[in-house]
Amino acid sequence: MTANTVLFIAEPQAVTGIFPALKEQGLQAGLADTLNGALGFIRKSRPAVVFCRPRLQGFSASDLLTQAAADPEFPPVVVFSPSGSAEEAREFLEMGARDYWLEPLVWDKIRLILPQAPRDAEPEAEPEPAPAAPEPPSAQPRGDSRFSIIGQHPAVLRVLALAKRVARSKATVLISGESGTGKEMFARYLHHNSDRDEKPFVAINCAALPEHLLESELFGHEKGAFTGAIARKQGKFELADGGTILLDEITEMDMGLQAKLLRVLQESEFDRVGGTETVKVDVRVLATTNRSIEQTVREGKFREDLFYRLNVIPLKLPALRERGEDVVRLAEFFTAKYCAAYGMGRLAFSEDAKNWLVEYEWPGNVRELQNLMERAVLLAGDGPIRRDHFLMDDAEWVPDDLDEMQQAGEEAAPPEPQTAEEALSVMPLHEMEKKLILKSLDETQGNRTRAAEMLGISVRTLRNKINEYKKLGISL
């Protein structure tokens, strides 16, 4: 078995987002969409783990698990689904699946089941970007420089000063702010500047799992706790023992689970699902939300006592549009990052580009800025980066060498890719994602349920993407 190789059996658009994180960790990834292709790869490369979608065209994960049952040396199989259900999870676990996950696939979770995965690696393939340029020497964090916070705006420096003050405590911290403002980056900053930085940092998205699966993910379960529970499983709190757990989108947690979480915060103990033995843990809890948690409490959707227990240290992150010149600092940071990634020289910004960066509203915050800087680097070529390199409508961009191209009888734009493989090789992943979503909506006459099924994602994920595009002015 090859410890540095994994296999994904899925549509390309469902898994390519995790490939950069695997490559960064020195892992090889295979991709197959048929049973024969998967079995051929497994025989040849003997991957450490196989990740399989429940169903593909003409193929089911049950077919793969049948093959696995007949081969004692078959690698463990993890079934991962965009939506999932308890019945489906039980079905595949009973057939011998190692685990059943809901998307998205992230490095933080994958590394836990790899036999020799690095344990101190950055746990997310694409963590929320830092909200801000290098700080004054007195404000620089100790430890890993990957978790430095970029920014000089007073609102950012105030939040950073508070985070630095409480990083070495065990106090719970509630980080709030709009989507894309860098909440997870601040959570990682807190962990890596604490006395727990040598211990695990475990993150879980509370909105990604239904209640019955989230409880098992958080607290684990005993063998026989439910159909398909063929072995004891440790939950996130046990895995984070001695370290830090991040509860992302905490306001999406079901009220019943909120009561169980409150017990962990108050008593540092819990029971596994189906268990009778109390498990003691030493875990520092961080939580994030992009909603008004006070309003959620008033609406009766979030426990008031849990809110006060989480809100010991509140960190409210400012939106990017409120941070003035920090936008330019961040733009320069991401530009340098992508210039290095694409083997290009450093690029400067024209004055009209800088003015546009400061004046734009940035509905997607730092995450949107990061994606836009990748586009600008690719369009600018030898530079400098101009305002038209930021335009949302590709049709408004005019290549610098258009006249030469026309004189040479060339097309002003390259032909559209004909296959998914070609598409992956000529455009950034977020651009391919947008094109696939728009195409699926067009083919289904706007039916979001059918479009989500075509894309292999949940309707919730599709709805969130559509809202992002509408904020960017894309007509749907």
Q: How far apart are CA 154 and CA 160, in angstroms?
A: 10
pLDDT at residue number 420: 44
pLDDT at residue number 135: 36
Question: 476 or 162: whose pLDDT is higher?
Answer: 162
- Average pLDDT on 63-91 reads 83
pLDDT at residue number 391: 65
Closest CA to 159 of 37, 317, 291: 317
Q: How far apart are CA 34 and CA 58, in angstroms?
A: 8
Question: 87 or 269: whose pLDDT is higher?
Answer: 269
How many Cβ atoms sit within 10 Å of the Cβ of residue 201?
A: 23
Backbone CA torsion sign across 294, 298, 302, 303: positive
Helix axes 326-341, 365-380, angle to 10 degrees: 50
Helix (H) or strand (E) holding 246: strand 244-248
Mean pLDDT score across all residues of the chain: 80
Q: How far apart are CA 364 and CA 371, in angstroms?
A: 10
Beta bridge partners of 242: none
Closest CA to 436 of 14, 9, 10: 14
Lowest mean pLDDT among 13-17, 145-149, 194-198: 145-149
Closest CA to 251 of 171, 167, 175, 170: 175
Confidence of residue 142 (pLDDT cuts 50, 70, 90): very low
- Average pLDDT on 279-297 reads 93
Identity (one letter) of the amino acid at 230?
I
- Average pLDDT on 197-202 reads 91
Confidence of residue 100 (pLDDT cuts 50, 70, 90): confident
Helix (H) or strand (E) holding 288: strand 284-289
Question: 408 or 196: whose pLDDT is higher?
Answer: 196
Report residue 89 as tokens: 């999870």
How does pLDDT run across 206-255, given as a tens digit for each residue?
A: 887 777 788 888 988 888 777 667 777 888 999 999 999 999 999 989 89
Beta bridge partners of 32: 9
- Average pLDDT on 367-378 reads 88
Q: How far apart are CA 5 and CA 50, in angstroms?
A: 9
pLDDT at residue number 121: 36
pLDDT at residue number 129: 41
Rounded to whole angstroms, what are the CA distances from 79 to 10, 127, 162, 355, 451?
10, 23, 41, 48, 22
pLDDT tops 50 at residue 136:
no
Confidence of residue 407 (pLDDT cuts 50, 70, 90): low
Whether the CB-CB separation of 352 and 217 falls below 8 Å is answered with no
Lowest mean pLDDT among 120-129, 243-252, 418-427: 120-129
Most confident of 9-13, 324-328, 374-378, 404-408: 324-328
Proportion of the chain above pLDDT 90, given as a percent: 31
Lowest mean pLDDT among 10-14, 103-107, 161-165, 226-230: 226-230
What string of DSSP letters covers 175-234?
EE-STTS-HHHHHHHHHHTSTTTTS-EEEEETTSS-HHHHHHHHH-B-TTSSTT--S-B-
Domains and CATH numbers, the chain: 2-113 (3.40.50.2300), 137-318 (3.40.50.300), 326-357+364-397 (1.10.8.60)
Question: 116 or 155: whose pLDDT is higher?
Answer: 155
- Average pLDDT on 412-437 reads 54
pLDDT at residue number 115: 67
Identity (one letter) of the amino acid at 257?
L
Q: How far apart are CA 96 and CA 78, in angstroms?
A: 10
Beta bridge partners of 102: 81
Lowest mean pLDDT among 2-6, 15-19, 194-198, 427-431: 427-431
Report residue 172 as tokens: 């719970």
Whether the CB-CB separation of 448 and 463 falls below 8 Å is answered with yes
Q: How far apart are CA 255 and CA 27, in angstroms?
A: 40
Rounded to whole angstroms, what are the CA distances from 270 to 215, 216, 241?
11, 12, 13
Backbone CA torsion sign across 8, 92, 126, 49: negative
